[in-house]
Each structure stands twice: as C-alpha cells, then as structure tokens.
Amino acid sequence: MDAFKLLTNTLIECNNGAFVIDLISEPSKEQMQKLIEGSGNPESEMRQVNSSAGLAVNFWRAYELSHPESRVEFEWKKQVPLKRGIPANIDVVVRDSDKISFIESKFLEPFYSGNETPRSSYLEASKYSKTTEPAQRWVELFTQAESFQVYNVVQLCRHLLAIYKDMRKCPKDYEKRKVQLCSVTWKMPEPFLSLFTEEYQNAFNEKNRLIEAEAKECKNIINRFISEQLQLEQLSFDIFTYNEIIDWVANSENYVKFKKQYFL
C-alpha cells in the first residue's frame, strides 16, 4: 500500500470510519468565499480527514478568534510571480498591526510526495517581470531549490517571488510592517506513529528526520537570499511545525478538540 492510502485509511479508522468530518473551526463568510475561489478546491476538500486545507482552516481560524487583533485571510492569489502565468496561491495570510505573515501550510504531503520540479519558465531570465529584476538571481535560487527531496522549496521560492513583487508594486500596503514568509508543517507525532507496524514507523520517522533537516537548510538558503540578494531587512523567512505552535491557540474553545484530531 502506498503512503497516501495508508495514512488516509488510518485517519479514517481514527474517525470512526468517516472520510468527511466536521470542521473544528468554521471560517467566516469572507474567508469561505476566498476558499471557494482558491486553487485545488480547498473549500470542497477541507472537510476530508486528510486535508491540508482543513488543517490550515481549523488552526488559523481558531488563531484569529483567540487573537482579536489579528486578521486571517485564506488563499492569497494577488500576484503572478513571472511576467505571465497563474498567480501564486498562498494558503494563509495573518495580518497584525506591525507584521504580515504569509503561510504555506502542509499536513501529510511531505510523507507521500516531494519537492516540485520548477517549471522551465522559472529557469529563464527573460520570463521574469522588470519589477523583480535582476532575474538571474531568481533563476539561481530556483536551480538551488530543485535539489531538495521532500521539502517543497520550489513552491516556497515561488511564493517569495510573488510576495517580493507585491511589496515592490504596492509599497504602501507594507509600510511600517515586518513581512514574513512561513512554512508550517505537521510533524508526525508518536501517538499517530504508534498506530503503524514497526516497518512503517521506521520509515515515517526517517521522513520526519529528512523533513526537519531539509527545513533547516531551506531556511538558511532563503534567508541568505533575502539578505544578500534582495537586501530587505523588513522581509524574512521562518519554519515551524504545528506541534511547536499548538499553544498559539491555547485560548481557543476548540484547543482540546484540535489537539485530539491531529494527535498533538
């Protein structure tokens, strides 16, 4: 059995045989509209037990409700990274008075899929917008990103390009605010691992270690690029796991339910 089916079937068993379940945190009407318009059908998929969109909505909506000063937007699709093409689709944006956080959220994906291969257009300097010049530095970044195995660094670089483009085109939106691109993943915890055979436990533990190692290297590469090539002190990149930040929603009425659903 492949990893995707194994993980999905295990989650179904843990939810009394249900593939479709209720959301823990219901999005607002405005957020729901963004989810309907999002790439990859997040609105229709977010109630599935294996849904990355479901994890993002459940956590970040709970975060918003327990942090009244914050505003959360799902499915940010404002900028096309290159001259032409489809917009980058960033899962979550958290807006605070002094900071904007763009978040790429992952659930099971690193355990059954891997890093993307960059489309050829990202490796051609002529395809880049004048707004993000010089283009060659981006080509080199995407070339470097391609070397990763499981951590989707290519996608994160695409998001970075779209954010940088938006900062250049709409500077007033970012005045007096720090800007951060974040990669937030789910580290497979021991209670969930214990449901598998020893063979699969060893395999998933190895994936946990590889994801962690590649995440750290990704953080170094992207922050070095921001510092040396973009030279923007305002912009940064960071990595988190939901396991580490679970207490960010400790004041939510759904805190216990969220921890149980995701084995945290």
- Dist. CA 27–CA 138, nearest whole Å: 35
pLDDT the model gives residue 38: 76
Tally of domains within the chain: 1
pLDDT digit string (tens) for 92-110? Answer: 999 998 999 999 999 999 9
DSSP per residue over 52-105, as a string? HHHHHHHHHHHHHHH-TT-EEEEEE----SSSSSPPP-EEEEEEETTEEEEEEE
Give the residue numbers spanning the domain of 77: 3-261
Q: Which parts of the chain have pLDDT scores under 50? A: none
Q: What is the pTM of this model?
A: 0.95
Distance between CA atoms of residues 47 and 38, nearest Å: 15
Over residues 236-262, the pLDDT tens digits come to 999 999 999 999 999 999 999 999 999
